[in-house]
Amino acid sequence: MTTKNTSKQNTILGIDPGFGRLGYAVLTGTRNNPQITICDCLETSAKIDHGERLVKIAEKIKQLLNAHNPNLVAIEKLYFSRNVKTALQVAEARGVILQTITSLGYPILEFSPQEIKISVTGVGNADKLMVQKMLKIMFKLNKMPKFDDATDALAIALTGLLHKKLL
């Protein structure tokens, strides 16, 4: 089993669960001074077996946990989708992610899209552009990550940091 982060430094792993593309971001620091350690995506190829894609997702989550040893993992709750096939794939990926994190003993906080928008913008029905603008200001970014999934993971990590009781 992995040794959990016991330092006074907050380290939050934010995950935007996905099957084809999974966003992840790691923040360190405090509510008043969060710093981005990494913000990126894992993409799984549609050319490989469905089960193998889920294995790749689990491996990436283990790699992130081992590399960053977070105090907390924040993940977006699944919301209903019009595309049932996509929703099922994301649900499967999310299950693999939750199982991997839990089996390694890391605490998890789950947030709805509305909770994330409120944390970042103060507005529960904010659109993606408003969330991006706030993140750009908060982190003094010149440009946003290439994929929305990475941006979403950054917002999720920030929500986790803002909701976590500071050490």
Q: Where are the alpha helices (DSSP H) in 79-143?
A: 84-103, 113-121, 128-138
Helix axes 50-68, 84-103, angle to 10 degrees: 40
Residue 160 to residue 32: CA distance in whole angstroms: 13
- Per the CB < 8 A criterion, the answer to whether 26 and 68 are in contact is yes
State the Cα angle at 69 between 101 and 18, rounded to 5°: 45
Positions marked catalytic = 16, 76, 149
